[in-house]
A = this chain, B = another copy of it.
Amino acid sequence: MPPATLHQVPIALGDRSYPIVIGTGLLGAASTWSGLPKAAAALVVTNDTVAPLYLAGLQKALAPHYRAVHTVVLPDGEAHKDWQTLNRIFDALLSHGCDRKTVLFALGGGVVGDMTGFAAASYMRGVPFVQVPTTLLAQVDSSVGGKTGINHPLGKNMVGAFYQPARVVCDLDTLKTLPPREFSAGLAEVIKYGPIADMPFLDWIEADLDQLLRREPAALARAVQRSCEIKAWVVGQDERESGLRAILNFGHTFGHAIEAGLGYGEWLHGEAVGCGMVMAAHLSQRLGLVDDAFVARLTRLVQAAGLPVRGPAFGADRYLAMMRLDKKAEAGDIRFIVIDAPGRAAVRPAPEAMVRDVIAHCTA
């Protein structure tokens, strides 16, 4: 089947603007990769799960555009989102004598995208890169908006850069091979866009969840497109997260605490965000912003999407300690993304006792 571009979502950031291209059959088509910055060489970064599925196809499609297409295959998983693994990208670039026009391609999920993006931001102080997300989570969230980075033993994504890709290519075909657990993790970030920005989108997700879970192309296209539109709208107004952009972190303060508290890699990021959204909804309810019915509705949908709705019981102290290390914290005060009203989010502090109550209520 010939490639089909179903939709293009522009990200408007002045001279750092770029398109998100959404469609089918894109990855293996040479035409997908036209019009990128000129260079002698490309480096495709991927992981050992994705490589057997898509690396050869992408390499072949890139071949007409570059004299050399190098590759580096990293170990899969959040546990490897560290300096040692990042350094393998620099090793590959330098051992191939790659110059500062070399274009990097991030073929994989959020971890590959974040690490490749940070490598691109840092190699010779910046080379172009292209996001080729192959997971639902990466297509609807992490590949868009220019957040890149690695984890530090004391905190997730603590070392990184704001660095925009030259293009994002979302090939919906790649979602077919995703394990169910990872697909559900991606749905967490899709669901997120409803309560923070677009309740009719939440209505649609609820109504068509079965089609989504069956990965019907039309449903996938709509989920990816609308998610990217909302993310593009937010990032276009606040690239460096000085304000509005923080709403995209709904569920992430509790979620990061779960991930860090258990050790990275125990829960998938999307699983932690799914559960984190339920906890943040409870907090919003206790702050008098939303009603019980809203909390129950969001909890039902998160659960129906195949995601956990109860957090691990490692104690409120540990949750709070992890949240104080969150990047959104300021001078030790934890700030939460809460739902101000269905379809609208805001950043607010919350009394510690209330947060402890929510943790006690929502953990197994």
Using a CB–CB cutoff of 8 Å, the interface residues on chain A facing chain B are 40-41, 67, 83, 87, 90-91, 94-95, 97, 99-101, 121-126, 147-149, 152, 154-155, 158-162, 240, 324-325, 327, 329-332
Contacts and interface: CB of A to CB of B under 8 A. Distances in A.
Q: How many copies does the complex hold?
A: 2
Given A154-B95, A325-B97, A126 B161 contact: yes
B99 A159 contact: no
A126 B162 contact: yes
A160 B127 CA distance: 11
Contacts of A147: 125
Given A83-B83, A83-B87, A161 B121 contact: yes
Contacts of A324: 97
B94 A331 contact: no
Contacts of A126: 161-162, 240
Contacts of A83: 83, 87
A39 to B, nearest CB: 8
Q: Is the interface of A mostly helix, strand, loop or mixed?
A: mixed
Nearest to A41: B331
A161 B330 contact: no
Contacts of A90: 152, 158-159
Given A97-B332, A161-B161, A124 B91 contact: no
- The list of the 3 closest CB pairs from A to B, nearest first, reads A94-B154, A40-B331, A124-B327
B40 A125 contact: no
A100 B327 contact: yes
A161 B97 contact: no
A332 to B, nearest CB: 6
Contacts of A91: 154
Contacts of A124: 158, 160, 327
Given A83-B87, A152-B94, A161 B99 contact: no
Nearest to A160: B125
17 contacts: A40-B330, A41-B331, A67-B331, A91-B154, A94-B152, A94-B155, A94-B325, A95-B154, A97-B324, A99-B332, A100-B330, A101-B331, A121-B161, A122-B159, A122-B160, A125-B147, A125-B148
A331 B41 CA distance: 8
A160 B124 CA distance: 6
A53 to B, nearest CB: 30
Nearest to A155: B94
Given A67-B331, A83-B87, 15 more contacts: A40-B330, A41-B331, A83-B83, A90-B152, A91-B154, A94-B152, A95-B154, A97-B324, A97-B325, A123-B158, A124-B158, A124-B160, A125-B160, A125-B327, A126-B161
Contacts of A331: 40-41, 67, 99, 101
Given A83-B87, A97-B324, A122 B330 contact: no
Nearest to A148: B125
Given A87-B83, A159-B90, A329 B154 contact: no
A91 B154 CA distance: 8
Contacts of A148: 125
A353 B160 CA distance: 43
Nearest to A162: B125
A304 to B, nearest CB: 34
A116 to B, nearest CB: 14
